[in-house]
Structure 1
Amino acid sequence: MAETPEEIQLPTRKKKPRKKAAWIVSAGATVAVLAVAAFVVPPMLAGDPIAAESSAAPTAAPTPAKTYAPVTNFYEQAGPPAGSPLTPVAPQTVTVSADKVGTKLSPTQVGLSLEATDLADPLLSGDNETVVARLKGLGKPVLRFGGNAVDRRFFWTSTGEALPSSYAGTKANPARVVGPDDFTRVNGLLEAADAYISLSVNLGDYNPDRAADLAKYGAQIFGERLLAITIGNEPNGFAPNMVLAHALRPNGYTSADFGKEAKVYADAIYKVAPNVPISGPGTYAADWASAWVDLDIKQTKILTFHNYPLTGCTTGLAADQPTMANLLAPDMHDRSINYHKTFVATGNAANMPIWVDETGISACVGGNETTKTHASALWSADYALGSAQVGVSQLDFHSSLITCKGGPPMSAVCFDGEYLKPTGEMQGRANYFGLSMVGTIGGGEFLKLTNDGGGLAYSYALQQADGSTTVVLINQNNPETAAQTKVTLKLPNIPATATMTQMTGTSYDSEDTSKIDGQDAAPGANDKRPAPMDFKPGQQLQTFPLTAGTVTVMNFKY
């Protein structure tokens, strides 16, 4: 998709008839250098300096040095906190290669996972400018509708049926009826925000025909914006368990049992919407992935799974508790990525896309040390990029449309207003801004790099379709106490121009203080951004200081 930067060509001389030039090519790391061998003197001119001089080829004019436009607008980076006891950070060296990793960042990489009942919320409309703006701030996001609601409180009807009495919810999470008019309203939102959608059908209340009816209207109304349909949500939790009291299947319900039911659903959906892929199994159990891969259905399949790394409320393990120490532990980065690699290997072997269509730091109820904090924003950006680099092509952070006041604190977005009385103005929480930094990249192919030093720091690089290089530096050092890091960045080519955007926060545990370029909004357009600090056009090696607790996205054009 992206092009390799063009090699620099030195001028060549014209050849005389019957004479051939011998060329010696030496390939460097980024520039091919051409050395021209001297012409061989013909025998009849040997010993005749006058004749030899007159017959020699003219000397080529030297290549003029390339000139670069002067930089007049540098990024004004926030410095370290005044008066704080600054802890030194080891210098960081990042060397970006022209070689590709083999994975891509999708334009639809980051999205939001919502409850299926949220489809009935009138605030999800193309007329709601704040919702449109927040979605645009994530790039071209996917809205995934599923969650525990889909199998317990979600009732689809295209004929105006009333909500069955067996469907029960709570004041905060009511049971809801959803129909074609809701789809039409949500499609207006998708069009206004240039977003996409993934739907789920109710498997808990077994009814393949009703699921097919939903798929038919979904395909008709959403068209190409409908990326997939999922059959149920977390079927590995359908049997009685300690987390959800409302069991949907008896003890002993297995992946094989789910496969039999899913096939009946898929066959019914295929009759009315054959071109819509089916995603699944949407579980948090890795051993269900192989059963999904082996499931014989007619539609294209997508392998999906869920991951909440710090859900100690269910595992009981100390390393799984949602604490600040666990969130920022170096092995937290590795364990999340390694967990994803298991599914990626299974999906790649079956030539299937791999999605994490429901995720977040923790699925534990209520707030904890990590929720709404700047540390969660730093983690979310790294988690999203690390997942993409190993082969996950979509990541949906589970969120809620309940009010910010009293609503789930892990949600990336929420509405202003008193509890359960939203004003309609959507806000982004800290983790939203971390995801927005990833969404602003807009895609690309991951490049290989080396990262040395920098303390708690992670780096990513991508080649864009226009040949430019995007570098992402995630500095997770403590923004209250860590000194700036001296960064030396070696690029795969010689840059002519560069731009920069940066997310900052005042401390790890500060709530709702994360900002992008000092604003409570997504980054501006790339061509409107200033150049990185100390950027020097025409130099492959760039050096600059980097403030702690930041996510920085730089783009270099050659």
Structure 2
Amino acid sequence: MLPLLFAATLAAAAPTPATVTVHADQPGLLLPADFVGLSTEKKLMTRDCFHPKNQTLINLCRTLGPGVLRIGANNVDSTFFTRDGQPPRESMKDNRYVVDPRTIGTEAVDEFFAFARAAGWKVIYGVNLGANNPAMAAEEADYALQVGAKEILAIEIGNEPNLYPKGPKREGIRPGNWGYPQYQAEFTATADAIVAKRPQAPLTGPALTKSTKWMPLFLADFKSRVVLATSHVYPLSAPETDPQAQRFTSIEKLLGEKYLDDWAIKLADAQAVGVPYRVGECNTASGGGKRGVSNAFASALWSIDFLFDVATRGGQGVNLHGSFTPNNYSPIVYDKKTETYGAAPLYYGLLFFSQAAQGRLVASETKCAANFVAHAVRGSDGKLRVTLLNKDLAQPVAAQLDLGAAYKTGHVLRLTAPSVDATAGVTFAGAAVTAEGKWTPQGTEPLTLTAGKATVTLPPASAALIIAE
């Protein structure tokens, strides 16, 4: 295990000093209330998963506050819809990633939206583009809007179409010479079919991966037809075996490096034409994640900083992907032995962010020689929420805060784990998420501010949320 120097051992290593100066009187962007989100595979609608009696899973969503559930991903293009009959549901005890086709009926759609309604979450609902059957996609979108119009944020057409063409290392679902012009024609046909049935249907796309230049082309063609632009982000690659490769998956790379060149460009493309942007699918490493990294506490620390990075640039939210499979990158996992849902370490990153990102971003300045960052938000309640994130694997940090003289008192909520690669034992504010999917803070530390100043020390690989008033 990678050792952490927690409070009992801080004396053995002198903390690296940091200064965090917050300008609460310089408000910036208002953070969307539903910034936090989850993404999952469409074929989970063929399992006994998303239904209004799955109380633990509902609680796990509600514990994060308002959010967006995106259903689609790779499986969307091999999931079919019919109004004729109700295909049998499969058990979550057999949950696994499948590539063979599945069909859903109206009952599955009814239960999915009843689940979303109970959770209080909005939905990005994916329909099949891979089959190139606009009539079927329109029929499904029509029924989804019939039963879930209040929950639907957008109808997403297809998934990662830039990967449809056959390639040297990719089987593909289109010929190798299939490109953006062909995609544009297929997207148009499906969008036209949906709008013919539902003229006000909110549409989204293109759900692209990295390393493609299709986003500006898509926006030029469809900026007046979509309510949201999306792309996918996986900074690292689980299949990569070369430790020297840029995308080799390790805790050191996950916490030590940032990869802004791709998603930030797509976000800027959308902003340039006035279309909101959301990271529709995201996680630590492509290929299902890597054990010891994606399912470890490090993923929680990474997610907090990544979500703030997207928010700071004006993104509308981030959907972390997973299909409830233990030991990979899923924020929520399903235990087949106990038949229960639970919070993985990554979930705690979403939980932390949901508590920290309430209001408007405010200007702040951070100086530190260690791998340490800070983010600040001022709420409509006047409280200042400051995120302190020590991503350094060896150095504790003593952060000297200057929040402004108006702030007199506060408290500290710490996010900790036994080690940075721990897969269990994570707590936030002294409490773990319960077996029922709920969380209640148990251990907050009082913080006295003198002229708005105080010092908070963080062990390596940990985070703290300061709430000041």
SS at structure 2 position matched to 1:301: strand
Shift of the 85–493 alpha-carbon distance from structure 1 to 2, 3 Å rule, reads: closer
The question of whether the paired residues in 1 share the 8 Å contact of 2:39 and 2:69 is answered with: yes
Deviation at 1:235, TM superposition (A): 0.4
Q: Which runs of 5+ in 1 are unaligned?
A: 1-77, 164-168
The CA deviation string for residues 352-375 of structure 1, in whole angstroms up to 9 with x for no partner, is 111111111111356344121111
Counterparts of 2:321 and 2:41 in 1: how far apart (Å)?
Answer: 8
User: Number of matched residues?
Assistant: 455
Aligned to 2:233: 307
Q: How does 1:36-47 map to 2 (within 5 A)?
A: none
Q: Which amino acid aligns with 2:218?
A: W
1:276 CA drift (Å): 3.1
Q: Which residue of 1 aligns with 2:388?
A: 473
Distance 1:498 1:468 in 2: 9
- 1:243 positional shift: 5.4
Partner residue in 1 for 2:329: 410
CA distance in 2, matches of 1:514, 1:531: 15
Q: CA deviation at 1:345?
A: 1.3
Identity %: 25
CA distance in 2, matches of 1:118, 1:365: 16
CA contact 2:429–2:443 (8 Å) conserved in 1:
no
Deviation track 1:261-284 (CA, whole Å, cap 9, x = no partner) reads: 111111111122333321111111
- For residue 345 of structure 1, what is the amino acid of its counterpart? A
Structure 2 gaps of 5+ residues are 89-93
Residue 180 in structure 1 maps to residue 106 in structure 2:
yes
Distance 1:533 1:324 in 2: 32
Decide which of 452, 459, 464 is 1:540's aligned counterpart: 452
Given that 1:104 and 1:393 are in contact with CA atoms closer than 8 Å, whether structure 2 keeps it comes out as no
- 2:424 paired with 1:509: no
Structure whose CA Rg is larger = 1
Question: CA offsets, 1:124-144, max 9 Å, x none?
Answer: 222222101211232212111
Residue in 2 aligned with 1:355?
278
In the alignment, the residues of structure 2 paired with residue 312 and residue 463 of structure 1 have an alpha-carbon distance, to the nearest angstrom, of 37
SS in 2 for 1:248: coil
Contact residue 354 and residue 392 of structure 1 kept, 8 A = yes
Deviations 1:71-111 (A, max 9, x none): xxxxxxx9826458843332111001135464332221121
Is 1:276 matched with 2:191?
Answer: no
TM-score computed with the length of structure 1 as normaliser: 0.75
Match of 2:178 among 239, 242, 253: 253
Contact 2:86 2:105 in 1 (8 A): no
User: Are 1:322 and 2:237 an aligned pair?
Assistant: no
8 Å CA contact retained: 2:404, 2:453: no
Does the CA contact (< 8 Å) of 1:201 and 1:230 recur in 2? yes
Question: Structure 2 vs 1, CA of residues 240 and 340 (structure 1 numbering), >3 Å: closer, same or farther?
Answer: same
Q: Which among 187, 192, 210 is matched to residue 267 of structure 1? A: 192
Maintained 8 Å contact 2:37/2:68: yes
Q: Which moved more, 1:293-302 or 1:109-118?
A: 293-302
Q: Which amino acid aligns with 2:280?
A: D
CA shift, 1:542, in A, is 2.1
Instruction: Please state how far the C-alpha of 1:244 moved relative to its aligned partner.
Output: 4.3
Whichever residue aligns with residue 116 of structure 2, its letter is: L
Q: CA deviation at 1:416?
A: 1.4
Aligned to 2:91: none
Give the alignment partner of residue 489 of structure 1, picking from 381, 390, 401: 401
Once the two structures are TM-superposed, the CA of residue 524 in structure 1 deviates from its matched residue by 5.4
2:48 corresponds to which residue?
122
Shift of 1:393: 1.1
Post-superposition shift, 1:170? 10
Looking at structure 2, the residues matched to 492 and 225 of structure 1 have their Cα atoms a distance apart, in angstroms, of 41
| AA at the equivalent of 1:441 | A
The alpha-carbon deviation at position 531 of structure 1 amounts to 5.9
Q: Is the 8 A contact 2:31 2:360 kept in 1?
A: yes
Letter of the 1:238 partner, please give it.
Y
What is the aligned partner in structure 2 of residue 230 from structure 1? 156
Kindly report which structure 2 residues correspond to 1:149-298, keeping only aligned pairs within 5 A, or say none.
149-152=75-78, 154-160=79-85, 172-173=97-98, 175-241=101-167, 244-245=170-171, 247-284=172-209, 285-296=211-222
Report if aligned partners of 2:86, 2:107 keep a CA contact under 8 Å in 1. no
Moved more, 259-268 or 539-548: 539-548
Match of 1:139 in 2: 65
